[in-house]
Structure formats: C-alpha cells, structure tokens
Amino acid sequence: CISITYSSDTQLLIPLQNQSEDSSEDEASGATEMDFLRNLFSSTLGLGSVEKVLDELNLEGLARYIQSGKCKNIVCMVGAGISTSAGIPDFRSPGTGLYANLQKYNLPYPEAIFQIDYFKKHPEPFFALARELYPGQFKPTVCHYFMKMLKDKGLLRRCYSQNIDTLERVAGLEGDDLIEAHGTFFTSHCVSFSCRKEYNLEWMKEKIFSDDIPKCDKCSSLVKPGESFPFSLHVIFVKSISLHLSLVSKSCPRLLINMEKAGQADPFFGVLDFGGGMDFDSEKAYRDVAHISTCDEGCLALADLLGWKGELEELVNSEHSRIEAEDQQEKASGAAGAAAETGTPRSAPEDKTTDQQTND
C-alpha cells in the first residue's frame, strides 16, 4: 500500500498497500493490527529492526516501488491544498484564506464552520462558504486528475477528502472511490435526527444563491449538504480519516506532498516507534517520503518518474476543454431561454456540422 497525504491545506498523503485486491477489508484490518503490534513490541523491546521498504527515501525510490508491482492499492487523503490552483483559496493563509474571509462571522475557531453543533446555532458562515465553493465554478487540478489516473490504472483503493468543492467527483471519482468527510453538495439532508428528509442539488442551489438559509419543508429544521448520518457517527467518521495514517501496515510507504514537512511523530513516542506519525529524517526512517512542493508539481514529478507525465497532461487538457465546452453550451442555452422569455431576438444558430466536429 502507498499512502499519499495532503494536509488540511496543502498536502497530499498516499499510503500504498501491497495486499491482493481480492482480500477482504476485514482481513486487511486484522493484518494491519497484528503487524502494528508485532512491530511495536519488536522495536520497543529491541527484538529486531524494521527493514527499509524503499531503496531511497525520495520520490524516485517511491516511483521504483510502484513500478516493481508490489503496490496494489493506493489511498489518497486530501485537503484544501489540492484545489488552490483551481482558484479556490485554502483555509488558513493569512489575509487570503477562506477562514480569513469569514471572520466577519466571528468564528470561535476555523473548524467550527464544519461542526454540526455550531452550524445549528450559526448556519450563516457555512452557507457563505458554500456560495464561494459551489460546484460548477471551478475545474479540477492536475492533482485531481492524477488520482483519476490511479483509478484508471487499477491502483486507487480510495480517496478520503476533507473538501466540499466536489472537484474529485468532477474529475471522475465516484462511489467506493471517494469518501467525503464533510459531505457533498450532491445530496443534502435535514439535520433533525427524527426527520432526515433528503434534498437534491438543484433545491440546495436555489436556496444558497437566493441568500435563504435552507430549511426543511417538512419540519422546519436546517438542511445541510452531506448530512446523511447523525453527528456522533460524523465525529467518529472524520476522526477515522485522521487516524488512517497510523493504521496502515508498517511495510506501507507513505508520501507527503506539501509546502513544508508535517505530520511528524512526537519525539518521545518516536523513540518507541509509537503513535503513527511520519518519520522523514531520523536514523530509523525507512518508509516515509516528504516531497516539498505544491500538490500539482508533486503529482507531475511523480507522474514523470512513472512515465505517465504526457498521459496526465493530455488528460488534464482534454477534460478542461470538455468542461469549458459544456459551460459555453449551458450559457448559450440559458441566454436562448432568456431571449425567448423577453422576446429578444436570438443569435443566428451555429453551423451544425461545425458543432458536431467540435463535440467530436
């Protein structure tokens, strides 16, 4: 398994697991726990040493590991940093981050905007953010399409995302490919545990852009994108993502793509090889790689080493062209509908042959 991680703002974390694809998740979980305990006792009691998983603790060593055939399942954990090149600000950058722009709402701390208890009392900040990030205003990045390539090559086990911009879906991840920790705009639910009525994307879009706070037409409780399970389960679910890094097998390489090193083990627990944090620089380091760059640059560099760079660039260009063409068609349809309602003459229709060639 390789684990690629992005932090909440800029990083990508990838664990790369080498278990066979037909193994059950229960078996994988059990093996991981046993492997964790075995290595914990071994390292703590001095009964053995952990062998290096990568021949070099850098992107080149990681690429060789993937090409060796040992890598069967890649897990990506991503945050806001993978969407900044799409034009979406990250959360914490001073002065320009989304949280800075929401300070007029006096958030007690940045993460409050995603917490259901705070949302129930103060829904305004969340929906202000929702208007900024609403689907259809941005195109996926190189990093999003790198994960789509992993899927197409049969290597992506799952992507865990903290983002609500839905760009993973736009890039082509769906179903079991994707876990959205903070929900998705594609479905919304009443937050009342006794109601839970579901609402679709168009209903939520109308509410968000009319500046109305969405409320359930059945019970008058608030409606929130992605809230399909109770708060207690939501907390457990989100925390399980942050713990995923420490639950992967000891033989699982982990890659961090970030503008600085992050997620490192506490020095005390690191001596005992306990706690699951990243170890990039100590004498005991054997599997963790930190690549200091933007997410797009890191993914392009890894794709280049894997011989996929041309394929990735072609995928990004073709998908962006497709999205732009669909946007233009949608705008033209909207303008035509408005013209019909107001009696304004329509523009001359374009040549159908040209349209067909463009679509092809």
Beta strands in 246-313 (DSSP E): 254-258, 288-292
Residue 245 pLDDT exceeds 60 = yes
Among 61, 2, 48, 7, smallest CA distance to 284 is for 48
Residue 46 — pLDDT band, cuts 50, 70, 90?
A: very low
State the catalytic residue, choosing from 182, 189, 244, 291: 182
User: What is the rounded average pLDDT of the residues 202-222?
Assistant: 92
Binding site annotation covers 76? no
Residue 109 — pLDDT band, cuts 50, 70, 90?
A: confident
SS3 124: helix
Q: What is the pLDDT of residue 353?
A: 44
Binding site annotation covers 159? no
Binding site annotation covers 252? no
Yes or no: say if 307 and 295 are a contact pair by the CB < 8 Å rule. Answer: no
Largest CA distance in the chain: 84
| Alpha-carbon distances, residue 63 vs 179, 213, 255, 274, 327 (angstroms) | 26, 48, 11, 27, 37
Catalytic residue at 182?
A: yes
Listed in sequence order, the residues at least 6 apart from 128 whose beta carbon sits closer than 8 Å to its beta carbon are 102, 105
Q: Can you read off the two tokens belonging to residue 219?
A: 């019970």
Q: Write the pLDDT tens digit of every residue in 86-102.
A: 988 776 666 666 666 67
Q: What is the pLDDT of residue 129?
A: 82
